[in-house]
A = this chain, B = another copy of it.
Amino acid sequence: MIVGIDVGGTNARALLVDSATGGVLGRRRSSSAGDGQALVRGIVGMVDELRVEGTVDAVGLGIAGLTDRTGTLFYSPNLPNLLGFSIGSELEGVVGVPVTVVNDATAATWAEALLGAGRGSDHFGLVTLGTGIGTGFVLDGRLLEGAHGFAGEAGHTVVDAHGPTHITGQQGPWEYFASGSALGRMGREAAGTGRFDRALELAGSADDVTGHHVAAALAEGDADAASVFDGFCREVARGVANLVLILDLGRIVIGGGLADIGESLRAGIDGHLGDRLPGAEYRPAVEVRLAELGDDAGALGAALLAAAGRADPAGDERSPHVPRFAPG
């Protein structure tokens, strides 16, 4: 069995995973606040508890940021205390089994590929819409990791070169327009200019409107919410179209917290995608699907990647390949 761990900005989630089936046999959660040593202690505690339920052969760690293949964290706005910390080797030294470290969105992509909404596609992208945008890709049946394991930072790609400045310092990155944060901002703007009265009722004031209020009003069938949400879906589709043009993806899987909105989100993105692709009338349509693994995807994918590493000890340093490691 493998323990998969997803380290986010506030919490770390651990799953005990049957590597042959991808089944989840146990769960734990701990804080990810504090420094690297505190995080290692929290993770070791979870691994030790899960070990009671079965032999742990390896640990897979998905982490929100850029890590190199040795498991050192290079860049992570969400985990500033861990920069330069070699989480992989530190953890390996304590738990005594191999530790594989990958980006969290890359790990989630792998889980959706093997067990979720990516099944049956050799060319898909996962787009997670949450506080920011995370992306990961399976191309030609293989997980894309890139030259240094940093692939999938599409949220930072510039789509509006003269647009507003994002927290990253860039002007007009996709994430500014199409993340959950953007949906909240769009709701506040509409509420503040008299175009979204229901949000004012739900939130109390325009300044307090969040993406959750937009989603709630949308679920009620509010027309203003539908208008705001349509504009949001257009911005998501803009970035998705760029990915399709570069990579010729056959499928897009939408995950992250906003995927809870469900079919309205899927259909909204789908509806705007065709307009954005030159030559769309000559292209087979790109499938748009909702992710299937929810919050488990990152930890599950990290576990499955750790299992894949173990299954290929010869290690030609190429990325895992769907047919070779697909469980079941």
Contact = CB atoms under 8 A, between A and B. Distances in A.
A289 interface: no
Contacts of A140: 142, 144-145, 318-319
A311 to B, nearest CB: 18
Nearest to A241: B158
B279 A148 contact: no
A198 B169 CA distance: 37
Contact of A245 (B157, B162, B241): B157
Looking at chain A's contact residues, the main secondary structure is: loop
B123 A245 contact: no
B135 A246 contact: yes
A150 B246 contact: no
A279 B161 CA distance: 18
Given A153-B245, A246-B247, 15 more contacts: A66-B282, A66-B283, A74-B279, A74-B283, A135-B246, A139-B146, A147-B248, A147-B284, A148-B283, A157-B245, A157-B246, A159-B161, A161-B238, A170-B278, A242-B242
11 contacts: A74-B279, A75-B279, A121-B147, A141-B318, A144-B248, A147-B284, A149-B248, A150-B248, A159-B159, A160-B162, A161-B172
